[in-house]
Amino acid sequence: MTVHIGAKLGDIAETVLLPGDPYRAKWAAETFLENVKLVNEVRGMLGFTGMWKGNRVTIHGSGMGMPSLSIYVNELIKDYDAKTLIRIGSCGGMQDKVAVRDVILATATTTLSTPSRGIFKELQFAPTCDWDLLHNAFHAAEAKGVPTHVGGIYSADVFYDERPDLNEQMTRHGILGVEMEAAELYTLAARYNRRALAVLTVSDHLLTGEALPSEDRERSFGDMVEIALEAAFT
C-alpha cells in the first residue's frame, strides 16, 4: 500500500494503462480483460488488474491534470515497479488536418510547467515518448483503420484558459492537440527509465468548436484501449 494506492505489492502489473477517468478504467477492464480484480479504490481512483491475450495488465485512473497524474505515476513506478505506462485519454484538436474522433500519438509535449518544473530551473526539458511504443501503436492504429496523427502536443495546466493566445501560438507552431497530463508522464518515465506513451482521441476541436457526441465516446475510447494494449505487448 502507498499513500494513494491500496493495492498490495504484486497486485499491479508491469504494464499500466492510465485513463484520466476512474470509471473509464472500470469499463476498459471489464470490457477487454479477463480475470479482472479491483486493486485500488482509495479516494474513488479505481484500478484493476487482469489478463489480455495472456499478458498481465493494470488499468488505473490518473485523475485530471498533471499534479494528480504525478501522484499515481510516482507511486506506480517507485512502489510497484510499473515499467510501461500508457495514457489513454482525450484531447482538443489544434490543427485543421486533425478531426474529431482521430487519434493522436504524442511524440513530444510542450508545457508552461509540470510538477517537475522545480528541478529543471532555467532548463527547458523536452519530455518525449518511447519509440517502440509509438511504433507499435502507430501500426496497431493503422491496422484498425483509425485515422492517426503523430507529433507534438501541448500539456496545459488549466482547462479554462484565460490566455487563449497560448493556444494560438501552439496551433501556429504545429502542435496537434491539447490535453493536461502527458508531459508529466513522459518526464517521470524519463527520470526512472520507464516506457511511456500518450494515445489520445480528439474529443473536441479548438478551431471548429465541434465536439464528439457522447454516444461515440465509448467506441473511440475502446479503440484507444486496444491500440494501447497492442502497443504494449507487440
Contacting residues toward ligand HPA, per CB under 6 A = 90-92, 156, 159, 178-180, 203-204, 206
Between strands 47-52 and 34-40, the pairing is antiparallel
Q: Which is nearer to ligand HPA, 85 or 180 (CB)?
A: 180
Q: Which of 132, 204, 216, 223 is catalytic?
A: 204
Annotated binding-site residue? 218: no
Question: Taking CB positions, which residue lies at the least distance from ligand HPA?
Answer: 92
157 included as an active-site residue:
no
CA separation for the pair 62, 41 (Å, rounded)? 12
CA separation for the pair 60, 22 (Å, rounded)? 7
Phi then psi for residue 60, to 5 deg, are: -135, 135
Q: Which is nearer to ligand HPA, 81 or 161 (CB)?
A: 161
Alpha helices of 160-213 — where are they, by DSSP H?
A: 164-172, 182-191
CA separation for the pair 222, 220 (Å, rounded)? 5
Annotated binding-site residue? 180: yes
Q: Quote the least distance from Cβ 6 to ligand HPA, whole Å.
A: 28
Annotated binding-site residue? 195: no
Annotated binding-site residue? 43: yes
Q: What residue numbers does the annotated binding site for phosphate cover?
A: 20, 24, 43, 87-90
Q: Which residues are catalytically annotated? A: 204
